[in-house]
Structure 1
Amino acid sequence: MTFDVCMQRGIDSGDISKIRGEEATAIYRDLRDRYRAQGHPDHIADQMAGEDTKAAMRKAVGEERHRGIAFLAWKRQVQKQVDEAKDPARLLTQRVEFWVAGKNKGASFKSQQAALTRLFYKKIDTFLVRHGRNLAGNVRDPATLRNVAREMHGEQTGDQAAGELAEAVKAAFEDARRMFNEAGGSIGKLEDFGIPHAHNAISITRAGFDKWFQDIRGSINWNRMEDRLTGRPMADAGGEPSLESQRLLLREVYDNIAFGKESANPRYGGPVGQSLLASANESRVLHFNDAEAWLSYNEAYGNRDPFGAIVSHLQKMAGDIVTLREFSAQPEVGIDYMAQLVAERARKAGDEKMGQDAAENAVRAKRMFRVATGGVQPSSVNQAMRARFFSTVRHFLSAAMLDRAIISSVSDLNSMRMAAKTIGLNPANLVSNHVELMASSASREELLQMGYIFETLADPGTTMARYQSEVPPAAIGERLSSFVFRAQGLAGWTDAARGAWWKLEAAGLANQANRAMQDLDPTLRSRLEMAGVTSDEWDKFRGDGLFEAANGGKFLPPIWWRENTSLPPREADRIFLKMQAMIDDQMEMAIPTDSTFIRSKIEGDAPAGSVGYEVGKSLTMVKSFIMAFSANQYGRIMSMPDNASRAMYAADLVAGATVMGAVALQLYNLALGREPEDMTDPLFWGRAALKGGGFGVLGDLVSTGETSFGSGFGGWGAGPLANVADDAWDYTFGNLIELASGEETNFGRETVRMLDRYTPGTDLPYIGLAFDRMVLDQLQMILDPEASQDFRAKAARSERNGGAGYFVPPGSTEISVPDFAGMLGR
């Protein structure tokens, strides 16, 4: 009796459920036909298919039970959150990002993801320090890094350092897998898993299936490839399945890359997109024979080197784990479920406004979540190519226009001061921590021992995100922008500022570690309660000792605690995430990087590479910091209890921003070779108010009438890409039209202007003035017959706009001492 006949009898007798029976019969027939097509005799194919079907059903039942338990726990958690929320409608967006938090308890997705990413970074700290990217964007010690890749794939290289680093990375991967499975996932353990790969859809589709298939098939370890249905290896060790089976599997992989996974099974209705659980397992589909095969494939058809692949995998796993915990395996469906619970509560209370707000916030929360997890991905390869092209252009322009951004970043000192005051910490200690970390390698090493990893060590794009949040560009674009931000010192400044905040918080927790929760400083107690920390969890957190620095200082950093606690891993993870997320929320207030809420307004539902997306990104380019700063401060002000406290906070914020703006203005003048401005002039303080607080570009507009990239208010609003198009037209067709009509072209002057505006790195604070005077001005004298008149016009324009002339005039290489006394009145 064949398997399908036996199964039908079981269904007819009622011993087997109809749904399960029909599912098993469909699997059996699919496997039987597959094995017969491979050349197995019918009776052997029937026997193999029957055994494998039973294995597949056992596997499915076990995974389904595990997922079901996790899903029920998530539903209970969400119901409790909605029941206890003081502002249920706002809960939907609060679960994604902190700034919109009102009176509800709990950490956001964004802050928990940051916390978990930090923990994973700590687990591979030696790897990051040894192989983090240098100033040019290259990984350090590439030879050892290749050996790490070999060790990850099970090879014995004899390189002890590489072996130890590989073991640390494997341990981090295993911890991430454990946490994912505890949250409801089902990734099986696989020894010598290696390094995850990321397909480059553009490279693969350009090659076409036949070439890609021939290039990859010999690199695949088929014994480590699991059959999707049965979980069994697709071939014995050292063997391979039939050529037809290879083509079937790799054709499916190729089509998923080229056409999208949904193209294989079009459907009407139901949730859109793939379950997170399915996608997590599919990330392990291809396994390579060895590290060299992985490296070769990655160079031809991948997106990352071993360093980037390792870091990106941990970042992705951190996001996936928190997604499962907060929103379930289908996050947008999870958000809709939360909205329905809020609507149910509103209906019972007869609160129509709550119901309307919940519906609106559900849409907003889904958009925010998409942005927080990478945005809406391109829907075609051509769209992906456009997205990468425009992202690369924007990276290039950012490198050209923001090479003096370090000057405006002194405004961080004010936002850091305000954040510290708000939560009852000493701003003076924050400043001293910042200075120490900027100046002392010993202080940075101590911070590393406490568990803090400088973010740009692992991800060079962290600083870039403060000014332009982007889809991945071509490698040259990322390297160029990363170089400019590192070379001017902005990456170091941001790292030190965020590290200083983290250290200040760890010291604050240690100072009160001897107190029970009810005896804590009210501000800290309130923060812990808002983060969802219970009295019992606080006692467990403070009960495992303190980190003691070389100078005797005591600290209680959550990451250090997590690595040293004796609590069971799952319980320790829960407490750690609450504590570290609480710190990360405030760190984002102190040193803003990105606003998911604002980006969701701009990007909306448009996929990267679409017209709507690219226009929106152009309009908001170089405004990310302003938007994040504004959103954070608005959220802070609105969270205050009354109008009086809001007004006091706003006045303090503006006063501090104005002082920092004044410092930035004077530094900016010196960087341009201009005399310091008269600080007794009331107009100076108006410009300083705009220059401070992240509004540096507006300060430039008011001060000089144009931005650093040469446009006025209209051009700033339209974005740099519009200015590039305008300048390119004037420089090419504009000059040709003038030439044809017999008018003067000013081609030489415009050539120098284009070089000045669009050459990355030439305006770095310590070389910009010298490059302007010794290279660009001298070139203009050669190319422009009216260069002298243009130089005099620039000097006159500077004085008209509130300046006091130049100590290194345009066109001159003679340097005089700046008139610092003139700052007190001329």
Structure 2
Amino acid sequence: MSYQDCLATIRAAAGRDLTDEEISELLQALQRRERYLKAKGLVTDTREAALRAADDIANALELAAVIEKRNAAINVVKRAERVAWVQNVFGNNLAEGLEATLVGVNRAKVGAREGVAQVQEMLRKRYLAGFIADVERTGNMRLFTSGAMDRDIARALWAIGRDTEDAALRALPAEAVDVARVINKWQDVTRMDANEAGAWIGKRAGYIVRQTHDPERIRRAGFDEWRAAAMEYFDFDEMGVMTPEALRNLYANLATGNHLKDAPADPTGFRGPGNLAKKLSGQREIHFKDADAWYEYNQRFGQKNLREAVTAGMIRSADSVGMMRVLGTNPAAMFDTIRDDLIMAAKAAGREDQVIQLQDRRNALGQFMAAVDGSMNIPGNAMWARRAANVRTWEVLAKLGGMFLSQMNDIAIYGSGTRYQGRGFLSGMSEAVGGLGRSLAPQETRDLAAALGVVLDNMAGELGRIGSFAEPGWLTGASRWFMKLNLSNWWVNRMRTSAAFGMSHHMALNSDRTWEALGGEYRRVLSLYDIGPEDWDAIRTSSQRSVDGRDYIVPENVADAAAADKLRTYLTDQTSFLALEPDAKTRAYILQGSRPGTWTGEFYRFAMQFKSFTGSYMQKIIGRELYGRGYEGNGVIGALRNGNGEMQGLASLIVTTTLLGYGSMALKDLAKGRMPRDPTESPEMAGKVLLAALVQGGGAGIYGDFLFGEANRFGQGALATVAGPVISTGASIIDLYQRSLRGDDTAAEALRITIANTPFANLFYARPVLDYMVLYQMQEAMNPGYLRRMERRLRDESGTEFLLRPTEAVR
């Protein structure tokens, strides 16, 4: 069979004439396909290879046309629905409607919190929580996270779906096979979700994991070394033999980190046979010769361990699917099209104010897009991004030992969230405190948490450096242990499970009520996720799960898939309000859409370190209390006068967080061996303590941190609050150096700075022992009178005393 005959077969599939360029590309594709079929032993002679190659490409071409039509239909519907939704729901502020589309907004509007960011987070939690729960059920979680069986698990994944699967799996350890089957199950879940959203990803035997590439390692090795490894490990027959230029381009893409941007996998189909030929001949997807080749490459140029590759793949899949579910198969182009449609409609309606508003918000919307499409995570320079991340990780280990003592106000934040849901402020606080005593050890409790999308921090930490550029190795392990030792994992895990369990149980308690019989506040919060009467009926009539004598509604039991996903989004998003955590919108604000490894990006990341709580508090909690009850304007005074409970909600929140903020201050003083500050000592002291407690509780936000920084959430000073702890530490070192040049005795102060920047030395229960047993004596020996001056400075500046004066301890 001649190539002209082959091309005739392909022309028939294409349904049109082909250009000379398309013919040339298709000839190359045919030749590569022939070589592949021969290399794999799938054909016996050249004629058969040519026939099979032509048929394969023709079939792919027909499939591409089907994909193109299907995706065109998906996109037409998405475009029309989204434009209509923005116009109908946000008619007075179209730009805010686009913001809601990307990252959600705190407005009492239908679907206002069902944007790309919320759907992505829901999918991440669903995939990770379900995956962790399934691995735990095998009893092999510790073995999996240790990395000891990575090669065998990779071999098992390679065998699944092949003709030789049974024999190959029998030769491997049962533990590795069990874990591999769980990985394969959740990779299938993500693949099917992607296909439902508009992708067309086939099930491939021998798929191990979405490959990770470490740009710094690849760049450090250089093109020649990397190419030699590629020749050893890659299956070029499967990939289609790559030209030297294509291989060089692949290296450049991996070495610069451009592969890190989240994008839907093959979502859009192909526009004609030319692009299909390019895809067949220029495929950037890497195939390996076998499991051992994958393992060796991953050790040299990837993330080294399988668990991180698996979780990273799930997170990237969740982000891609979330983008497609909201914005179709070409999200960036779709968003621009929707904005253009809104501008044209506003012009036609004579609404120049709306046109100006849409144009003025272009930069902010671009930052939000960067937060959800993954471009904000692509390092400008991978090496410097990693080094800077390592420095910030060190600061975490050195500065957050007392973080637990600063979290008392989380209980008030929790209560404000349950009040917004119509469940009461005090009852919410009681629910939060009661949940602190809940054991998470029983399997049925952990299974329920997974079903509700709760990812426990300690388990997520075991899986790897999710979303981090930090160097793998001892810093990663130290961070994981540090968050356990400072009790942060314990606190956060219980607050999250309390939130999810409380909402699920409350829903079960209301399952006998129709939509109209529900309380108005409860209907309002459900409507934020586009849950209406029909969805509620599907949710409330689903079978319930019973744990410890209480009933719960779980998404997996809801028969209507759309209602189930809306319920998942409600649970995961509202959990992030009750157990406050930063979201994509907060990250976009505090990092201004900047990329790591750039001058601007690293400036923002250093300056804003430890400020995500303040950013989240202001954006999510204060924003919700002011604008989440129906107020249409943007002014704070107008919101407080709206009359829907804004004033009462904000007052209750600030009063309670301030009281609990004082409790945190008292606990931190006691942990440092000091008497808690007494607000009754004098009117002046009462004012200082009130302001400091307001800041500690989060009520005054970053401005309060600036004015009264010595009492901020993490116990840092004003400079640390504004410039970040790394810059603050640098300034302290420079000041110390200048003082030493003047002849000052700086030995004791140098010791203080050293200890303040030593990992694990500031754990709240260990530091007092270290101070009184060792450090005070060393400081006094280095600089006689240092402790006496320290006591006097504490008394003059904060009006308090040590419980046991250091000068007495060193006698």
TM-score, with structure 1 as normaliser:
0.82
1:75 and 2:79 are equivalent in the alignment: yes
- Once the 2 structures are TM-superposed, how far is the Cα of residue 89 of structure 1 from its aligned partner? 2.5
Please list, as runs of the form range in 1=range in 2, the aligned pairs for 1:490-509 lying within 5 A after superposition.
490-509=488-507
Residue 164 of structure 2 is matched in structure 1 by none
- Once the 2 structures are TM-superposed, how far is the Cα of residue 679 of structure 1 from its aligned partner? 3.7
CA distance 1:704–1:363, shift in 2 (3 Å)? closer
| Distance in 2 between residues matched to 1:162 and 1:151, nearest whole Å | 7
- Once the 2 structures are TM-superposed, how far is the Cα of residue 754 of structure 1 from its aligned partner? 2.2
Deviations 1:42-69 (A, max 9, x none): 9999878755653553343233233323
The amino acid of 1:638's aligned partner reads Y
Deviations 1:368-401 (A, max 9, x none): 1312444434565xx1111111111111112211
Residue 320 of structure 1 is matched in structure 2 by 320
- Give yes or no for contact 1:463–1:491 (8 Å, CA) kept in 2: no
- Give yes or no for contact 2:262–2:316 (8 Å, CA) kept in 1: no
- Once the 2 structures are TM-superposed, how far is the Cα of residue 576 of structure 1 from its aligned partner? 1.8
Residue 419 of structure 2 is matched in structure 1 by 421
| Distance in 2 between residues matched to 1:489 and 1:372, nearest whole Å | 31
1:631 and 2:584 are equivalent in the alignment: no
| Distance in 1 between residues matched to 2:498 and 2:597, nearest whole Å | 38
| Distance in 2 between residues matched to 1:487 and 1:666, nearest whole Å | 21
SS of structure 2 residue aligned to 1:514: coil
CA distance 1:103–1:699, shift in 2 (3 Å)? closer
The more displaced of 592-601 and 276-285 is 276-285
CA distance 1:346–1:277, shift in 2 (3 Å)? same
Please list, as runs of the form range in 1=range in 2, the aligned pairs for 1:590-629 lying within 5 A after superposition.
590-629=578-617
- Give yes or no for contact 1:113–1:318 (8 Å, CA) kept in 2: yes
| Distance in 1 between residues matched to 2:721 and 2:748, nearest whole Å | 22
Deviations 1:744-769 (A, max 9, x none): 24242233122222112111111011
> How many percent of aligned residue pairs carry the same amino acid?
19
Please list, as runs of the form range in 1=range in 2, the aligned pairs for 1:113-512 lying within 5 A after superposition.
113-124=120-131, 125-127=133-135, 140=145, 142-143=147-148, 147-154=152-159, 155-156=168-169, 157-221=171-235, 225-227=238-240, 245=242, 250-258=247-255, 276-278=264-266, 285-303=285-303, 305-378=305-378, 383-427=381-425, 430-435=428-433, 437-441=435-439, 445-450=443-448, 451-452=451-452, 453-460=454-461, 471-512=469-510
Deviations 1:83-107 (A, max 9, x none): 4323432111112223444524251
| Distance in 2 between residues matched to 1:15 and 1:188, nearest whole Å | 21
- Once the 2 structures are TM-superposed, how far is the Cα of residue 471 of structure 1 from its aligned partner? 4.7
CA distance 1:719–1:306, shift in 2 (3 Å)? same
| Distance in 2 between residues matched to 1:96 and 1:72, nearest whole Å | 19
The amino acid of 2:217's aligned partner reads S
- Once the 2 structures are TM-superposed, how far is the Cα of residue 24 of structure 1 from its aligned partner? 4.2
- Once the 2 structures are TM-superposed, how far is the Cα of residue 723 of structure 1 from its aligned partner? 2.1
| Distance in 1 between residues matched to 2:661 and 2:10, nearest whole Å | 80
| Distance in 1 between residues matched to 2:690 and 2:331, nearest whole Å | 48
SS of structure 2 residue aligned to 1:554: strand
- Once the 2 structures are TM-superposed, how far is the Cα of residue 199 of structure 1 from its aligned partner? 0.5
CA distance 1:730–1:689, shift in 2 (3 Å)? closer
- Once the 2 structures are TM-superposed, how far is the Cα of residue 404 of structure 1 from its aligned partner? 0.9
- Give the gaps of 5 or more residues in structure 1: 228-243, 263-272, 816-826
- Give yes or no for contact 2:201–2:266 (8 Å, CA) kept in 1: no
CA distance 1:9–1:777, shift in 2 (3 Å)? closer
1:802 and 2:807 are equivalent in the alignment: no
CA distance 1:708–1:473, shift in 2 (3 Å)? farther
- Give yes or no for contact 1:710–1:757 (8 Å, CA) kept in 2: no
- Once the 2 structures are TM-superposed, how far is the Cα of residue 501 of structure 1 from its aligned partner? 0.6
CA distance 1:463–1:83, shift in 2 (3 Å)? farther
The amino acid of 1:494's aligned partner reads V
The amino acid of 2:506's aligned partner reads G
| Distance in 2 between residues matched to 1:546 and 1:9, nearest whole Å | 56
Q: What do you get for the CA RMSD once the two structures are aligned?
A: 3.9
- Once the 2 structures are TM-superposed, how far is the Cα of residue 698 of structure 1 from its aligned partner? 8.2
| Distance in 2 between residues matched to 1:119 and 1:479, nearest whole Å | 25
TM-score, with structure 2 as normaliser:
0.84
SS of structure 2 residue aligned to 1:548: strand
| Distance in 2 between residues matched to 1:754 and 1:389, nearest whole Å | 22
- Give yes or no for contact 2:673–2:803 (8 Å, CA) kept in 1: yes
Deviations 1:398-429 (A, max 9, x none): 22112211111111011101111111114555
- Once the 2 structures are TM-superposed, how far is the Cα of residue 674 of structure 1 from its aligned partner? 0.3
1:691 and 2:699 are equivalent in the alignment: no
- Give yes or no for contact 1:420–1:427 (8 Å, CA) kept in 2: yes
The amino acid of 1:171's aligned partner reads K
CA distance 1:299–1:5, shift in 2 (3 Å)? closer
Residue 237 of structure 1 is matched in structure 2 by none
| Distance in 2 between residues matched to 1:705 and 1:86, nearest whole Å | 42
- Once the 2 structures are TM-superposed, how far is the Cα of residue 214 of structure 1 from its aligned partner? 2.6
- Give yes or no for contact 1:705–1:712 (8 Å, CA) kept in 2: yes
- Once the 2 structures are TM-superposed, how far is the Cα of residue 10 of structure 1 from its aligned partner? 11
| Distance in 1 between residues matched to 2:15 and 2:705, nearest whole Å | 76
Residue 718 of structure 2 is matched in structure 1 by 713
Deviations 1:497-544 (A, max 9, x none): 111011110011101111222222222222333321232222222222
The more displaced of 123-132 and 515-524 is 123-132
Residue 761 of structure 1 is matched in structure 2 by 760
The amino acid of 2:495's aligned partner reads A
The amino acid of 1:198's aligned partner reads T
The more displaced of 469-478 and 769-778 is 469-478
| Distance in 1 between residues matched to 2:465 and 2:673, nearest whole Å | 27
Residue 578 of structure 1 is matched in structure 2 by 566
The amino acid of 1:71's aligned partner reads N
CA distance 1:745–1:61, shift in 2 (3 Å)? same
Residue 793 of structure 1 is matched in structure 2 by 789
1:588 and 2:585 are equivalent in the alignment: no
- Give yes or no for contact 1:401–1:708 (8 Å, CA) kept in 2: no
- Give the gaps of 5 or more residues in structure 2: 40-44, 160-167, 269-278, 631-638
1:60 and 2:64 are equivalent in the alignment: yes
The amino acid of 1:459's aligned partner reads A
The amino acid of 1:797's aligned partner reads R
